[in-house]
């Protein structure tokens, strides 16, 4: 029996989960869709129209393909009006004392945690991910809120220092909100990115216009509803919907700053347009993330880490692993244990915590993943496990897939697959492993495994990546809200989290005060004497370490 046939027969299957969660009622869906400002149309579940006419997007339940809602598609006029409304609300919000703004997020933290299960229902319905990952996604916005509730007073506090003339001048850095931030969120973590990235912008005093992906607009809309329940002023946080090329240009042209998570190709387009508008942009882009297993690693732990790193969220995590580098001496041991775990994964459609892996986000994405696997096999790669779609489980399911013999002339060897597919590679020396890990245009995340932590950290420091985890895949880095998380090379510009995760949404005003007119030569003073005194003063202040 072939490896991929074994995977097909041993993956535990049950009847397809056709009954969506009871919490996702037609009334809730109508309530959420009605939040999308649109003059272009939209139809509620009861058949009534949101507007007279226009285009809509059929948002489906991934497990079954059932149409849940007809999502209105925003026109340029809708987007411009969303910014007008957000600016009106932001003018007042920015004048609230920071302590008053933070009270909103204190209340929101409790509301988000109390509603985590309902939020997970919505995330699963629209994305098809397994419930274990959905519930983890619900935790990200409360974690972000908690971190910045604590640190925002320090980060946004005016910072006063002495000016060029001791005692007679001062200079104060004042953090001012940028205005209205455009957030463009991806489909793989719609709630975590759509809400968490907006929360920091809001704490800084900005308004937000969010463009979620059409496929996964429900959970961000639900997040906004919870924020307003906590006291966020209505109108401050707007949502517009549509395909990127239709919505993006108008959104960027009206924004004061752009936060984007998505592909490198789209990130280049967004960065170019933001640059033409002379506004800032933070871009978290694609990755081809490596995992290096050192020869002293605990193989059982490394295999367990790889199972999550490769198959977590069905491989649809920006920081997930697509390349594993193994020492020749441990290759067979890791391969055999990893293949056995992949073949035994509980893969199915279910709204409980049983399945270890869920669906891909759509049939179109399933076809992309299949194309990468087929291309690799056609060019000489070997399938060790999986390699096929699973229509018996649902429209977009794909088997956990392990390949070997992948080379850089294959799609799966050079470009981001973004699915439950990984390639295993041998190496002979650590230097070779590091060189192979760095042999990519991407640099978002990496993982190093070894029991000698000092040696493992030494290897990690040599990898060209914005995030590197030792004895973990990605959670330790991403969940550390006190340090920046972003990409290098073609994986992005800027970062979320850390101090800059908040301060990037502000402009710094330099407020300088001169208490006495001592700048420049005095009336009637010989300019040579003035210059001599000025230069002596510079030497004196350096010697005294005043300046």
330 lies in the same domain as 435: yes
280 lies in the same domain as 295: no
346 lies in the same domain as 416: yes
Residue 14 is predicted with a pLDDT of 39
Quickly state the pLDDT bin for 382 (edges 50, 70, 90): very high
356 lies in the same domain as 280: no
Residue 86 has pLDDT above 70, yes or no: yes
Asked whether residue 60 is domain-assigned, the answer is: no
Residue 39 is predicted with a pLDDT of 63
Q: Which of 249, 284, 319 is the last residue of a domain?
A: 284
Quickly state the pLDDT bin for 144 (edges 50, 70, 90): very high
- SS3 for 213? coil
284 belongs to the catalytic site: yes
260 lies in the same domain as 299: no
Contact call for residues 437 and 323 (beta carbons, < 8 A): yes
Residue 16 is predicted with a pLDDT of 42
- SS3 for 356? coil
Q: Which residues contact 12 (CB under 8 A, 6 or more apart)?
A: 346, 347, 348
With 0.85 as the threshold, say if the pTM is over it.
yes
Tens digits of residue pLDDT in 192-249 = 999 999 999 999 999 999 999 999 999 999 999 999 999 999 999 999 999 999 999 9
Average pLDDT over residues 375-384: 98
Residue 37 is predicted with a pLDDT of 78
109 lies in the same domain as 95: yes
Residue 43 is predicted with a pLDDT of 47
Contact call for residues 363 and 395 (beta carbons, < 8 A): yes
Strands (E), 265-415: 280-284, 289-293, 321-327, 382-385, 401-404
248 lies in the same domain as 114: yes
Asked whether residue 511 is domain-assigned, the answer is: no
137 belongs to the catalytic site: no
Least confident of 4-13, 55-64, 122-131, 529-538: 4-13
Residue 200 is predicted with a pLDDT of 98
Asked whether residue 506 is domain-assigned, the answer is: no
Asked whether residue 32 is domain-assigned, the answer is: no
Asked whether residue 46 is domain-assigned, the answer is: no
Among 61, 70, 284, 343, which one carries the catalytic annotation? 284
Range of the domain at 415: 289-482
Among 282, 318, 343, 399, which one carries the catalytic annotation? 318
Average pLDDT over residues 370-391: 98
Residue 10 has pLDDT above 60, yes or no: no
155 lies in the same domain as 201: yes
CATH of residue 174: 3.40.605.10
CATH of residue 353: 3.40.309.10
Strands (E), 96-168: 159-162
Q: Which of 284, 310, 336 is the last residue of a domain?
A: 284
Least confident of 47-56, 413-422, 452-461: 47-56
The rounded distance, in Å, linking the Cα atoms of 182 and 191 is: 16
Asked whether residue 395 is domain-assigned, the answer is: yes
Quickly state the pLDDT bin for 5 (edges 50, 70, 90): very low
419 lies in the same domain as 334: yes
Average pLDDT over residues 460-468: 98
Return the DSSP state at 44: -
Residue 199 is predicted with a pLDDT of 98
Residue 54 is predicted with a pLDDT of 60
Residue 546 is predicted with a pLDDT of 83
Tens digits of residue pLDDT in 28-77 = 999 999 999 766 544 444 454 444 336 999 999 999 999 999 999 999 99
The rounded distance, in Å, linking the Cα atoms of 355 and 378 is: 31
Q: How many domains does the chain have?
A: 3
Residue with tokens 């496929």: 215
CA nearest 310: which of 375, 408, 402?
402
Average pLDDT over residues 532-543: 92
302 lies in the same domain as 258: no
237 lies in the same domain as 357: no
Residue 44 is predicted with a pLDDT of 46
Provide the percentage of residues in the chain whose pLDDT is more than 70: 94
Give CA separation, 275 vs 252, 267, 280, in Å: 10, 12, 7
Least confident of 48-52, 383-387, 390-394, 425-429: 48-52
Contact call for residues 416 and 442 (beta carbons, < 8 A): yes
Q: Which of 284, 302, 320 is the last residue of a domain?
A: 284
Return the DSSP state at 232: P
- Tell me what the pLDDT averaged over the chain comes to: 94
248 lies in the same domain as 318: no
Residue 18 is predicted with a pLDDT of 59
Average pLDDT over residues 471-493: 97
Residue 134 has pLDDT above 90, yes or no: yes
How many distinct helices (H) and strands (E) make up the chain?
Answer: 19, 20
Residue with tokens 């320090």: 154
The angle that helices 430-438 and 453-461 make with each other, rounded to 10 degrees, is 40
């Amino acid at each position: 029996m072939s490896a991929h046939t074994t995977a097909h027969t041993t993956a535990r299957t049950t009847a397809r989960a056709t009954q969506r969660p009871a919490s996702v009622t037609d009334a809730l869906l109508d309530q959420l869709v009605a939040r999308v400002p649109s003059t272009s149309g939209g139809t509620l579940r009861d058949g009534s129209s949101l507007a007279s006419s226009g285009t809509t997007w059929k948002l489906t339940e991934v497990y079954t393909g059932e149409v849940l809602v007809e999502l209105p598609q925003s026109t340029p006029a809708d987007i411009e009006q969303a910014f007008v409304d957000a600016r009106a609300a932001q003018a007042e919000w920015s004048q609230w004392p920071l302590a008053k703004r933070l009270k909103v997020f204190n209340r929101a933290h409790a509301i988000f945690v109390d509603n985590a299960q309902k939020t997970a229902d919505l995330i699963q319905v629209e994305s098809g991910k397994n419930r274990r990952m959905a519930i983890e996604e619900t935790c990200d916005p409360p974690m972000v809120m908690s971190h910045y509730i604590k640190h925002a007073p320090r980060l946004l506090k005016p910072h006063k220092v002495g000016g060029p003339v001791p005692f007679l001048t001062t200079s104060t850095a004042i953090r001012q909100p940028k205005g209205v931030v455009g957030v463009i969120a991806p489909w793989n973590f719609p709630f975590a990115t759509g809400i968490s990235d907006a929360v920091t912008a809001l704490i800084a005093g900005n308004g937000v216009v969010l463009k979620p992906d059409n496929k996964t607009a429900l959970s961000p809309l639900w997040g906004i509803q919870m924020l307003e329940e906590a006291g966020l002023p209505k109108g401050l946080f707007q949502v517009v919907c549509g395909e990127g090329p239709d919505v993006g240009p108008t959104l960027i042209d009206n924004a004061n700053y752009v936060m984007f998570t998505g592909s490198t190709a789209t990130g280049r387009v967004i960065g170019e347009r933001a640059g033409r508008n002379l506004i800032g942009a933070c871009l978290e882009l694609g990755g081809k993330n490596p995992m290096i297993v050192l020869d002293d690693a605990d193989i059982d732990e490394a295999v367990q880490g790889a199972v999550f790193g490769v198959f977590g969220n069905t491989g649809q995590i920006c920081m997930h692993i697509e390349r594993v580098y193994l020492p020749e001496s441990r290759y067979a041991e890791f391969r055999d244990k990893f293949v056995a775990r992949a073949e035994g994964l509980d893969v199915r459609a279910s709204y409980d915590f049983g399945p270890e892996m869920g669906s891909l986000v759509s049939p179109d994405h399933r076809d992309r993943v299949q194309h990468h696997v087929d291309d690799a096999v056609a060019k000489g790669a070997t399938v060790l496990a999986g390699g096929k779609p699973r229509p018996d489980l649902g429209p977009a399911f794909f088997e956990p897939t392990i390949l070997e013999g992948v080379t850089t002339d294959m799609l799966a060897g050079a470009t981001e697959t973004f699915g439950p597919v990984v390639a295993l590679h041998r190496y002979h020396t650590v230097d070779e492993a590091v060189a192979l890990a760095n042999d990519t245009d991407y640099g978002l995340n990496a993982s190093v495994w070894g029991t000698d932590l000092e040696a493992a950290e030494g290897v990690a420091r040599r990898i060209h990546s914005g995030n590197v985890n030792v004895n973990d895949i990605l959670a330790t880095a991403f969940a550390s809200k006190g340090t920046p998380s972003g990409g290098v090379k073609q994986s992005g510009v800027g970062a979320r989290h850390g101090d800059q995760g908040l301060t990037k949404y502000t402009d710094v005003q330099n407020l300088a005060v001169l208490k006495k007119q001592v700048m420049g030569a005095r009336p009637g003073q010989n300019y040579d004497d003035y210059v001599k005194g000025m230069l002596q003063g510079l030497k004196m202040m350096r010697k005294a370490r005043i300046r």
